[in-house]
Structure formats: C-alpha cells, structure tokens
Structure 1
C-alpha cells in the first residue's frame, strides 16, 4: 500500500512539473516596484556630486529608516497605496550626537499606475511625480537642503536618477 501511495505521489509531482510553465516562477532580477533614485550635489558647484554623511531617511511619524554614509546616490521607497509620501532627511541623523541633527522634510506628490509583470510575479507599481509640486521641501529656519530638482518624473525603473538634491 505504501508503495502505491509513493508511486501515485511521485506521478502527481512529475505531472505538476511537466505542466509548469515559464510564467509560473518569478525569475530573480525581474523588475519590481521601483524606489526613487536621488543624487546629491554641491549647492556651490551644481555640477559636482557630493557625498552625504550619516544621513538618515525616515517616513514621517516613523523612527526606523534607512542610513546612508559616504555616498552621493541613494534609493528610497515611496508609498504604493497613496499619492503622497513625506520623508525626513536628517543630516547627522546616524551619529551618537543628537544635538547636531538637522531634519529637513520633503513631500513627494505623485500618481500611481499598476503594471502587470506576469502571472508568477503579479503587478508592480510605477509612479509619476507631479510636474508642478512633485517634491516639496518644507522650509524651516535651518534647512541643510538648498534646492530640489526633478530630473525624471516617471519612476518606472531604478536605472536613472529621478531627483537631485543640492546642499
């Protein structure tokens, strides 16, 4: 009896693999919902990339976030279930001295679109930054960010820079 059950299960497993189509497995490296690609530039010399140091990026109302150190390009996610994401960019936010933290708030305003990938992978979301107010820096008395420029409003891949920040 055990032998018959084993053979039956083996045949079912073999048939399921034979019926497996290419579209049943989401291949590694398949494009997913893209993050916003941001490059940092020297405000005094706008064509020169500038590395951020101890930068912490968190969503408004959250304490956990992403830390970046010694890089001029970062990738951050935005909400897929909304048309606005507010992120806090805290200079010196990842060092032990909280007295030197300088938080600047950037609001990303965008439209969303679901894009079908495949049966196995499902959908991904793409974003379109609004052309008039796609990114808004909340002014305060001590902004470390001086200017924001949208260089690519269509956020469909992570292969290009979407936003440039000058500081």
Structure 2
C-alpha cells in the first residue's frame, strides 16, 4: 500500500508505508543517540582562600586596609577581588604548572606609575598539584595539597604569622590559610 499526493492527475509525492517507517526509525535513532549537553558547571580549579585575623585576638577577623596582591612573575595585581580595597578575606590563584607561587601582599597600597608606597610583604606557598578528572565537558581541574609557606623577613613586616588550617585546596567553601596582622 502506498500513499500518493497528486496535483492535476500527476503524483507529486509518493511514500510507501515502509518509507515512512524507515524515516521514523531513523529519527528515533538520531534522537536516542543524543547525549546530555556538555556544559561544564563545576569544573573550576579552586582558588586559595586566605582570611586575615587580628594578631592580638586570633579568632577575630581583621580587615587589611587598601589591600593589593601581586603575583611574582606576573607583575599585575590580582583580579579575583577589587584592587586596593579593605578586605578580611581573599581568594587567590595558585600556579598549576609550578610547585610554588609567590605573592607580594601589600598593606595600605598607594602610588602611581609602578611606585608602590604601601608596606610590601612577600609570601610563598609550596604545594603539590593533583589533576582530577571532572567530566568530559570540564576536563581536568587542579587540586592542591599545601606543604608549607614562607614569609620573607624584612625590617617592617606587617604580617606577624601564617597558619595553614586546611592543606587540601579542593574547594572554595572554607578558608585554607590564616594570616595574622
């Protein structure tokens, strides 16, 4: 049996039942072969969360006035927070392809034309990088295991102490490091 559509006595379209069945089968196969859209929603490498505390009262958060952080080797202020703002916590990136990252952390940052007048302390974080497969859409992300940190000593350190409180940098939910000032 076939279905014919005609126009002035001549068939224009002619489909057999088997042709319609094959067409429907093809459409079903194509639709069923589709997978969920590859949209990455949870595939970001976590940032290191630092909280600033009062050195005299180690449980009280204390903002850093006009904070600026510059990645050594990068030369530019970090863009993960508003530059030269007063903050009691920051999220900063670590280098994926290195075993350490150094930062200049500046209190009371001010100045123009690469002339910084604030109090600069240099801090280094040492860590191991672990790549974790998230999904086909996201690929791999880097997680870190903090091993140590070091503060370069100078005549006017405003940072008085550093404590790693969560060495596993696998999310940005909780703080990883306390800095006392």
TM-score class, shorter-chain normalisation, is 0.7 to 0.9
Change (3 A) 1:24 1:45: same
Structure 1 residue aligned with 2:76 = 64
Task: Report the structure number with the largest CA radius of gyration.
Answer: 2
1:60-89 per-position Cα deviation (integer Å, ceiling 9, x unaligned)? 133311225222110000100111101110
Q: In the alignment, which of 103, 125, 134 is matched to residue 117 of structure 1?
A: 134
Contact 1:59–1:65 (CA under 8 A) maintained in structure 2: yes
- Larger helix share, 1 or 2: 1
For 1:76 and 1:115, the matched residues in 2 are separated by: 20
Change (3 A) 1:21 1:88: same
Change (3 A) 1:68 1:75: farther
Q: Trace 1:4-153 onto structure 2 (pairs within 5 A).
A: 19-22=33-36, 24-27=38-41, 30-66=42-78, 67-93=83-109, 95-96=110-111, 98=115, 100-130=117-147, 134-153=148-167
1:127-152 per-position Cα deviation (integer Å, ceiling 9, x unaligned)? 0011xxx1111111110100000000
Contact 2:43–2:140 (CA under 8 A) maintained in structure 1: no
- CA RMSD in angstroms comes to 2.0
User: How many aligned residue pairs are there?
Assistant: 147
Structure 2 residue aligned with 1:6 = none
Deviation at 1:166, TM superposition (A): 0.3
Contact 1:68–1:74 (CA under 8 A) maintained in structure 2: no
Change (3 A) 1:18 1:71: farther
Structure 2 residue aligned with 1:3 = none
Q: Under a length normalisation based on structure 2, what TM-score does the superposition of the two structures give?
A: 0.74
Query: Gapped runs of 5+ residues in structure 2?
Result: 1-28
Q: Under a length normalisation based on structure 1, what TM-score does the superposition of the two structures give?
A: 0.80
Change (3 A) 1:166 1:109: same
